[in-house]
Amino acid sequence: MGGRIFLSLGVLAIALAAPAASRPRPAQADRPWTAPRTSWGDPDFSGLWNYATMTPIERPQALAGKDVLSEADAADYERQTNERQAATNNTAGPDWWDEGTRHLTGRRTSLIVDPPNGRVPPLTAEAQKRAAARTAAARARGPADGPEDLGLNVRCILWSTAGPPMLPGVYNNNVQFIQTRDHIVIVNEMIHDARIVPMDGRPHGTVRSWMGDSRGRWDGQTLVVDTINFNEKAAFRGSGEGLHLIERFTRVSDGTIRYEFTAEDPATWTRPWTAMVPMTMIAGTMLEYACHEGNERSMVGTLLGARTQDPRQP
């Protein structure tokens, strides 16, 4: 009896002394990561996400053929870019720039992933005519004959940072998702824009708007947002009313969403093109971006200055 007790204790001691690597691991350690779910079962995008980056949307011509830089080349590129920005007289000033803009994303040289050259496809002949007409009209009017001559962002109407599609900017590259069973609201800190995306299968409407008409659906773990019916004034890199935008949001880890968008407009580009922007979860609270209606003070100053400098004025 005593011998059996001593033998059992000895086996137990050996088992406890065995290296951890030789012991069977819990089954959950081998399970792949899965996205958290809402209470009704959809992938959960709760939290505040930041999409700032130094990586430009288009690959610079000087980096043609290099989609990813070496560590040394990336460090040199970042240093030169930060030095140039620090010496530039920016409206907001370098101290306003989002911390994420100080680094390349994955050492990539463009956000565009298709075409492989990292460049927006060439404009069609029709789009080139539209661009030439806009340039000629601007020259004929002067730089600021009226409010409509100034950019949509200057007038606090629309910012490319908020999109759609959402493109990294100098600051306020933050977005929050508010989810219900039938809708998802995409809230951008920049200019406090909010897109309400129906998820209930309803068809697109017919009214054109600044941010287009969005409809959403789930493709497995991915949120797909399909947007059409942009108005003619909300041109995205020269696009027209035929712009068709498809955005895909996939939560690939606890702290990362992969955001991809494909822009298609046969009347503007010779082919569709796709860009990818990682989003990183951050701590904190989204604050109000108080770009007040019409940006009245800046508008008045700009228009008065233009009148003073206009040689056509008596």
212 vs 294, more confident: 212
For 204-215, give one letter per residue: b (16+ CB within 10 A) or e: eeeeeeebbbbb
Q: Specify the amino acid at residue 22.
A: S
Mean pLDDT of all residues in 28-47:
86
Q: Is the pLDDT of residue 201 over 80?
A: yes
Helix (H) or strand (E) holding 49: strand 48-50
**Distance in angstroms (rounded) separating the CA atoms of residues 309 and 74:** 44
Q: How far is CA 121 from CA 63, 216, 226, 227, 275, in A?
A: 17, 27, 21, 20, 12
290 vs 244, more confident: 244
Domain extents in the chain: 122-307
pLDDT class for 91, splitting at 50, 70, 90? Answer: low
111 vs 135, more confident: 111
Q: Is the pLDDT of residue 7 over 70?
A: no
pLDDT class for 284, splitting at 50, 70, 90? Answer: confident
**Distance in angstroms (rounded) separating the CA atoms of residues 300 and 294:** 10
How confident is the model over 246-280, as pLDDT tens digits?
999 999 999 999 999 999 999 999 999 999 999 99
Q: Is the pLDDT of residue 244 over 70?
A: yes
Q: Is the pLDDT of residue 46 over 60?
A: yes
173 vs 306, more confident: 173
How confident is the model over 129-159, as pLDDT tens digits?
999 988 888 777 766 777 778 788 888 888 8
Q: Is the pLDDT of residue 64 over 60?
A: yes
176 vs 151, more confident: 176
φ, ψ dihedrals at 197, nearest 5°: -110, 110
List Cβ neighbours of 185 (8 Å cut-off, separation of 6 or more): 177, 178, 179, 194, 195, 196, 197
CB 211, CB 223: distance < 8 Å: no
Q: Is the pLDDT of residue 100 over 50?
A: yes
Average pLDDT of the chain to the nearest whole number: 86
254 vs 5, more confident: 254
